[in-house]
Amino acid sequence: MSAPSWFADLVFPGSFLLTVGLIAVLRPPARALGWVDHPSTRKHHLHPVPLVGGVAMCVAFCVGILLLPDKPHDWRVLLICTVMLTLLGLYDDLRSSRASTRFLFQAAAVLLMALGSDVVLGNLGDLFGLGQFSLGDWAVLFTLFAVVGVINAFNMIDGLDGLAGGSGLIAGGWLLVLCLSTHARHPGDIGALLVLAMVIVGFLAFNLRHPWRARAGIFMGDAGSTMLGFVLSWFLIHLSQGEQAVMTPITAVWILALPLLDTLTVMVRRLRSGSNPFVADRQHLHHLLLGRGLTDGQVTGVLLALTFLTGGLGVLADRLDLPCCLGFYAFVGLFLLYYRITTTMLPPPNSPVIGQDRRRSLRPSDTDKKWHRSLLRLPWTYGSRQESE
């Protein structure tokens, strides 16, 4: 027996209220138990901040999906993998696990997704203008690489109040636009994306700065950034593959253009400088804009506007049915431009803008001398710990 329509309508506001309620309940014991993010030279907050946002988001998202009358495709695998990765992020928030441990658990969850469902990145579209680029037997491996990359990209941009959550909300919003603008019916996917949006809004009510809140009251932590990156990866792949596709694969790249560009640029820059690519520094775009004198709120606003713009360009190109190769070559050009601009924004090595952590990372160390060993062990992981608040 199907659920009445009024019950389905309550799932979405209920997801928001459940997120808010869980955060309100978890905050006091989190402070007492030490489940907080402590200030450091790379971070902007001056007092310990509870890391309860990610767990609250995961619970509310899973409950919302379970209550939907029309569930998304392979929803059981989606929820199992989401919980697995959130628990991994939670452990990392509490105990700071090694990069190899994080990668292995991330890889296990993504492999479960790829082997336990048909959410696999098997076709990249007409990227080069020479016909469809099918991955064939390499599809699972490429899916592993792509999803772990997106997960760690969200981990890396989670450096300012509201930035990761706002970016996820915008990406999910563009996916909703694509689902609603196609003739094919996707009630389960639309419902799940609406639940995700309500969950993020509930989190942002405590995390985003506004006239009534001078600074974030909670952070999502690695639990939240990992969960958010995975769920978005799931729908970006699912909605760009097969008969149910509502967009081309290159459109999915444009929807997450800014997090991907920032991650790729930072990793390339670290490799070229001979630094360990897995050691956090202050070379992300939000750090560079802060170094130019912008406030936290201004930087967040600028980056969210850019995220909205790049995603909108990708969606517009998709709706106009422009060639996939045009979108791919445009993205490559945008990456080169982004790399050039952000490189010119880098302050001198002794500048106080960089901070003690980066000055230390620029000096050769045992870790830097052995970074290639980490590459061999972790060939597909982009990052590590949350790259700073």
* Tens-digit pLDDT profile for residues 132-190: 999 999 999 999 999 999 999 998 888 788 899 999 999 999 999 999 988 777 889 99
By CB neighbour count within 10 A (0-12 exposed, 13-18 middle, 19+ buried), where does 358 fall? buried
Residue 84 lies in a domain: yes
Question: What is the rounded distance in angstroms from the CA atom of residue 168 to the CA atom of residue 304?
Answer: 10
Q: Which structural domain range is residue 66 located in?
A: 8-361
Question: What is the rounded distance in angstroms from the CA atom of residue 151 to the CA atom of residue 230?
Answer: 6
Band of residue 359 on the pLDDT scale cut at 50, 70, 90: very low
Band of residue 55 on the pLDDT scale cut at 50, 70, 90: very high
Band of residue 80 on the pLDDT scale cut at 50, 70, 90: very high
Residue 389 lies in a domain: no
Question: What is the rounded distance in angstroms from the CA atom of residue 130 to the CA atom of residue 135?
Answer: 14
Residue 57 lies in a domain: yes
Residue 345 lies in a domain: yes
Cβ neighbours for 161, distance < 8 A, ≥ 6 positions apart:
207, 208, 209, 215, 216, 296, 300, 389
Q: Is the pLDDT of residue 350 over 90?
A: no
Residue 371 lies in a domain: no
Residue 276 known to bind ligand: no
Residue 74 lies in a domain: yes
Q: What is the mean pLDDT of residues 234-254?
A: 95
- How many structural domains does the chain have? 1
The pTM assigned to this predicted structure is 0.85
- Per-residue pLDDT at 386: 42
Residue 370 lies in a domain: no
Residue 207 known to bind ligand: no
Residue 372 lies in a domain: no
